[in-house]
DNA sequence: ACAATATCTCTAGTGGCTGGAAGTCTAAGG
DNA sequence: CCTTAGACTTCCAGCCACTAGAGATATTGT
């Protein structure tokens, strides 16, 4: 049995975050020691590692909750799990595309200042006027 | 003179957001009508457009505050403005790099499920075990 | 036995808004 | 001039996914 600190060290998830996940229903309410401290087993360790990994991949708590619910039903079709992963991929791709547009504009804005004072700073002027931008962002 | 609604329509910034910016000190406390409603002029319109544009480019409220403070001192060197823009560019590039790593892993995870049930779903298995991942993310 | 460390619960704060409730003001139509 | 619809006011709560702190209790090591 692990204490919450042991679990934290083994998974890299901070102690208050573990408690938060319990509160959010991602982890079941843990067993307790005589003195009311949480005690976890291998199963909980694995589930927390799953949560950690999914969070690292950017999935929301809500998606993770769905995936955990699903994984309790090994015989069901996995279409929902696949859908969640694909949606996450699509959302990551959207964010990349958006950030790339930003990157382009910021390059134009940030790397071209030849001014010396605020009065003729390219950065300030470019920020003041979106019409100078090459794209909508 | 514009009402807050006029200003909102002209800049595309929602009414509560304009009030929020005032509260955060990005906009000076506006003049008021006899009945205590905010009234804005051209100057405030321009400043709000600046804020909107900077937010669209991903700058934080704090950075925008600095830029506004700077732009009140036309004779100062613009190194700080340039630094803020460059830092933002660097941060956008970091996020892109991070998201691309995620994209790679998610492609591997999301596009390769040939299973039919949750029990043999590639998505669930891949999320359960980061050792199967090609990169740290 | 005692000190040091870990854990407990509870509350509040982060950033950047967004929404709602309840009350007040303004502008246009009659 | 009066009505009334709509816009405006303030204040407070909620979003996400934590993070930090206070003050009390439990466990661990010497
Ligand atoms: Zn400059
Ligand atoms: Zn622009
Ligand atoms: Zn599958
Ligand atoms: Zn991984």
Q: How far is CA B31 from CA A69, B22, B36, B38, B40, in A?
A: 55, 12, 9, 6, 7
Model confidence over A3-52: pLDDT tens digits?
999 999 999 999 999 999 999 999 999 999 999 999 999 999 999 999 99
Model confidence over B5-24: pLDDT tens digits?
999 999 999 999 999 999 99
Stated in angstroms, how far is B61 CA from D30 C1'? Answer: 53
Q: Which of B65, B59, B53, B57 is nearest to B24 (CA)?
A: B65
Model confidence over A88-128: pLDDT tens digits?
999 999 999 999 999 999 999 999 999 899 999 999 999 99
Band of residue A56 on the pLDDT scale cut at 50, 70, 90: very high
> Helix H segments across chain A?
4-11, 15-23, 42-56, 61-71, 79-110, 122-128
Radius of gyration of chain B (CA): 23
| Ligand sitting nearest the alpha carbon of B125 | 3
User: How much is the average pLDDT of A78-97?
Assistant: 96
Supply φ then ψ for residue A51, to 5 degrees. Answer: -60, -45
Distance from C-alpha of A8 to C-alpha of A38, rounded to nearest angstrom:
12
Which residue is nearest to the C1' sugar atom of C17, using CA? B17
Q: How far is CA A135 from CA A105, B28, B57, B84, in A?
A: 8, 30, 11, 21
CB–CB contact B106 A57 (8 Å) = yes
Correct CATH for A1-59 of 3.40.50.720, 1.10.1660.10, 3.40.190.10, 3.40.50.280: 1.10.1660.10
Cα nearest neighbour of A122 on chain B? B82
**Which residues have Cβ atoms closer than 7 angstroms to strand D?**
A 3, 14, 16-17, 20, 33-37, 55, 60-62; B 3-6, 8, 15-16, 19, 36-38
pLDDT at B137: 87
pLDDT at A137: 87
Cβ within 8 Å of residue B116, ≥6 positions away? A77, A78
Stated in angstroms, how far is B112 CA from D4 C1'? Answer: 62
Q: Which of A66, A68, A76, A78 is the best mutation test for B, with the most CBs of B within 10 A? A: A78
Q: How far is CA A15 from CA A4, A18, A24, B14, B19, in A?
A: 6, 5, 14, 39, 38
Contact A137, B57 (CB under 8 A): yes
CB–CB contact A53 B127 (8 Å) = yes
Contacts of B129 in chain A (CB under 8 A): 53
Q: Residue B85 is nearest to which of A99, A109, A116, comparing CB atoms?
A: A109
Q: Which sign does the torsion angle of CA B98, B104, B106, B109 carry?
A: negative
Contact A101, B122 (CB under 8 A): no
Q: Per residue in A51-62, is it b (16+ CB within 10 Å) or e — as a string?
A: bbbbbbbbbeee
Supply φ then ψ for residue A37, to 5 degrees. Answer: -95, 145
Q: Which of B85, B4, B117, B130 is nearest to A54 (CA)?
A: B130
Residues of chain B with pLDDT under 70: none
Q: Residue A117 is nearest to which of B78, B115, B129, comparing CB atoms?
A: B78
CB–CB contact B57 A109 (8 Å) = yes
Model confidence over A63-73: pLDDT tens digits?
999 999 999 99
Domain chopping of chain A, boundaries? 1-59
Q: Which nucleotides of strand D come closer than 7 angstroms to any CB of the protein? A: 7-11, 16-21, 25-28
pLDDT at B6: 98
DSSP string, A100-123: HHHHHHHHHHHS----SBGGG-HH
| Ligand sitting nearest the alpha carbon of A59 | 4
């Amino acid at each position: 049995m692990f204490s919450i600190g042991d679990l934290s060290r083994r998974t890299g998830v901070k102690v208050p975050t573990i408690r938060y996940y319990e509160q959010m229903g991602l982890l079941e309410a843990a067993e307790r020691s005589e003195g009311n401290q949480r005690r976890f087993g291998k199963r909980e360790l694995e589930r927390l590692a799953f949560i950690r990994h999914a969070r690292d991949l950017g999935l929301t708590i809500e998606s993770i909750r769905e995936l955990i619910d699903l994984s309790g039903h090994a015989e069901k079709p996995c279409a929902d799990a696949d859908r969640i992963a694909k949606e996450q991929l699509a959302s990551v791709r959207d964010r990349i595309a958006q950030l790339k547009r930003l990157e382009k504009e910021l390059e134009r804005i940030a790397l071209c200042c030849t001014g010396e004072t605020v009065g003729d700073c390219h950065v300030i002027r470019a920020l003041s006027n979106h019409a100078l931008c090459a794209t909508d962002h």
